[in-house]
Amino acid sequence: MIEMHVDTVVFDRKSGETVVVLSDQERKIALPVWVGITEAKAISLALNNTSSKRPLTHDLLLSVISQTGYKVSEVVVNELESNVFKAQITLTPAAQNQSPNDFRAPVKLDSRPSDAIAIAALLGLGVQVSPDVLAKANFLIGGQKEKEIQSEDFKNFVQSVKASDFKLPGFQGLIELPKDEGESEAK
């Protein structure tokens, strides 16, 4: 597993989507995870060490976990299937509630990654990410080598492209463009 942390929360006004970007400690690998606005708010509040006036759903969940004698020990983003991330939250018995006769096993809860990340942010925990998930979905931050290769490929394309390379499928002939308003009919 690779430990990552919340790097930033981004709201795209144009699309209305919210993305949480996880990054590794060296900030070389990033994992964008699309989340709902409620989860984004909870994550942002946690990152800024701010609380809401009323408990949010994630605060309630943490309270229930604590009241049942457990604690969150790990948050894992463990699957990516058909562009859908999956996560697990692992609960272990809290030390203050454990007796020598307490043999409760850890509990693994399936979770949406957005909720798991919000829980991790509230507790100041890192988010463990499966290497398989990273292999499918990560991108490099500031990957200069990749940018140079892409830039070189683009330069080669621009130097060799011809207008005839752009054709509409099934269309033969000329495309007539509309005349500018100021252009006269008689030339």
Task: Determine the angle formed by the axes of helices 57-67 and 37-47, rounding to 10 degrees.
Answer: 70
Asked whether residue 48 is assigned to any structural domain, the reply reads: yes
Whether residue 95 is contained in a domain is answered as yes
User: What are the C-alpha distances in Å from 153 to residues 98, 104, 146?
Assistant: 61, 58, 11
* Residue 81 covered by a domain: yes
Would you say residue 179 lies in a domain?
no
Tell me which of 60 and 28 has the higher pLDDT. 60
Here the CATH number for the domain that contains residue 34 is 3.10.690.10
Taking residues 37-55, what's their average pLDDT?
A: 88
In a domain, 175, yes or no: no
> What pLDDT was estimated at residue 146?
44
In the chain, how many domains are there?
Answer: 1
Joined tokens for residue 51: 């609380």
Which pLDDT does position 142 carry in this prediction?
A: 52
Is residue 185 in some structural domain? no
Distance, CA of 109 to CA of 124 (rounded, Å): 19
Nearest to 87 by CA among 15, 24, 31, 44: 31
| Three-state SS letters, 101-112 | CCCCCCEEEEEC
Contact 38, 56 (CB under 8 A): yes
Per-residue pLDDT of 108-155, as tens digits, reads 999 999 999 999 999 999 999 999 898 888 655 554 444 444 445 545
- For the stretch 160-182, pLDDT in tens is 544 333 333 443 444 333 444 44
Question: Is 139 part of any domain?
Answer: yes
Domain that holds residue 26: 2-144
Q: How far apart are CA 3 and CA 128, in angstroms?
A: 4
Q: Which among 91, 111, 100 has a CA at the least distance from the CA of 33? A: 111
What is the pTM assigned to this prediction? 0.70
DSSP state of 125: -
For 89-108, the pLDDT digits (tens) are 999 988 765 566 667 788 99
